[in-house]
Each structure stands twice: as C-alpha cells, then as structure tokens.
Amino acid sequence: MDGHELIFAGLDIGSLTAKAVLLENDIMIASAIIRVRPSALDSAKDVMNAVIMEKGLSEQDIACCCATGYGRLDIPFADLNMSEISCHGMGAFFTDNGIRTIIDIGGQDCKVIVVNEKGLIKDFIMNDKCAAGTGRSLEMLAKTLDVPLSSLGPLTLKSWRPIDITNKCSIFMELEVLDALYSGKKLTHIAAGLSDAVAKRVASLSASVQMENPVCVTGGVSKNKGVLKFLEKRMQRTFVVLPVDPQIAGALGAAVFAMRSFEKKEKEAFRK
C-alpha cells in the first residue's frame, strides 16, 4: 500500500454519466464524474483511472471496489455490486446521518428512498418506465431549446410565468416546447415550464411513499435549481443540502459498502 491506509472505491455507472469515489479512514479523498463511454467497462476504467491518478495511486492500492448503476454487472474488476437504491440511500446518509428520505433524479429514472437510522432501505418507489422527468429528457429538451443543459436552471429562475406543459411523454413534451417557441413564448418561461413539469412528476411519484424528514435530493438533476425550486413548492418541503456533490451519492454509497464488505471479511477471517 506504499504507506497508505486502506482505500475503498465506489463506482456508479449510470445512463449519462459515470462516477467514482475513493474512501480512506471514513473520509472521501477523491471523486470524479465523466460522460459515459461506449461501454460500461470503458466508463468504469476511465472514471476509476481519474480518481486513482488524482491521488497518485495504482489499482493495487484499492482494498475493495463496489459497483452500482446500470452498468454494475459489467465490471469484472469490481469485488461486489449493489443496487442503486441501496447506494444512493447509503451515500446520502453517510454524508448526513440525519437524512431519512432521498429523492434521486437520475439520467433515466427517478427514485424516492426512505432509510432507517443505519442508512439501510426502509421503503422506496421507482419510476423507470418513461424518461420524462429525468436527466435524459431534460437534456433532449434543452437541445430543442438550443441551450446548454446547465442553462435550464438559471433560465428558470428568471421566469415569472412558466408555461404549462401538460404531456407526460418526452416526445409530446418536445412538441409542446416547439409549439411554445413558434408562438413566441419567452425562453425563460419555457425553461420554467420544463422544470415544473419534472417537479410535478417527481412530486406525484413521492406521494406513493411515506416520506420522512429530513429530505435531500441526489442525482444529476439535483443540480438544476429551477427543478428544486418547483419541487420544494409542490411538495411543500425544504430540502437538506448535502455537503458533497449530490451527483456522486451513489458512488459514495458504493464505496461505503465496499469498506463494510472488506471489514466484515477481515473480522470473519480473524475469528477463524
């Protein structure tokens, strides 16, 4: 280990981005987010290289690696894999052990996760049947507006009259956006309408679970301040801001599970 303490890695290979986290002594020492590569394995290799190179480490320095996300089963160098639901719950809880509900809005799905006092799953609901209300749909609709995805949030905050987007399907939402553009509606109001449409879908999903406070939001869409504004309004809640980038919560949770798995095996070996 070249003088290093034990280091644990977590990988979250999603539909739009790949994330990696390194843990040492219960502290996150490195993290990275990249766009996905052509394959889950390529994504995992590249994002892992980003964090180990940042710390001047090698693959041999990683005591245990856990993978999560859509590509978790395609990473042969991961020692174990865990569900996204477990990892997002644990990752958020690890940063703030008061957290009890996590709303994860990812690239291709949305999850509402309730955890217990140990950060383990108590209840959850997931919507993965339609991309509307996720990062992928927002990215597609931002292209329709010809603005960067990162501009949707700031544009939303400048609006005082969001347009009403009634369709729940991404394709029909795009038609509504095009119609609003041709009708001369302001870009800010269209962006606000999109943010509110996402918030409406997430709020509707969350109504199916007995949520507990405090609540936080994770996933790439959590960085869109417009969506968060409308979501807080629709849910009549104030969200806790995590002390880490909310997009890496899944990878952080995976790293925590890697650490616990390793420690459990060490204890079992010691008993023998």
- Range from 106-110, 124-128, 234-238, 266-270 that averages highest in pLDDT: 234-238
Mean pLDDT calculated for residue range 219-223: 90
Q: Report pLDDT digits (tens) over 35-67.
A: 999 999 999 999 999 999 999 999 999 999 999
Mean pLDDT calculated for residue range 84-88: 96
CA distance 191 to 226: 8
Dig out the tokens for 82 from the structure: 């865990």
- What per-residue confidence (pLDDT) applies to 80? 97
Dig out the tokens for 144 from the structure: 């329709």
| pLDDT > 70? residue 272 | no
Give all domains of the chain, ordered by start, each with its CATH number. 1-96+243-272 (3.30.420.40), 98-241 (3.30.420.40)
CA distance 155 to 255: 35
Mean pLDDT calculated for residue range 21-40: 96
Mean pLDDT calculated for residue range 193-210: 91
- What per-residue confidence (pLDDT) applies to 4? 53
| pLDDT > 70? residue 222 | yes
**pTM of the full structure:** 0.92
- What per-residue confidence (pLDDT) applies to 130? 62
How far, in Å, are 6, 249, 262 from residue 265 at the CA level? 14, 24, 5
H helices present in 108-186, as ranges: 135-145, 152-157, 170-182
Neighbours of 211 (CB within 10 A): 18
* 3-class state of residue 17 by DSSP: strand
- What per-residue confidence (pLDDT) applies to 122? 97
In the chain, % helix, strand, coil (3-state, to 5) comes to 45, 20, 30
In this prediction, what percent of the chain has a pLDDT beyond 70? Answer: 96
Mean pLDDT of the chain: 92
Neighbours of 4 (CB within 10 A): 13
- What per-residue confidence (pLDDT) applies to 106? 86
Strands across the sheet containing 80-81: 27-35, 17-24, 7-13, 62-69, 80-81
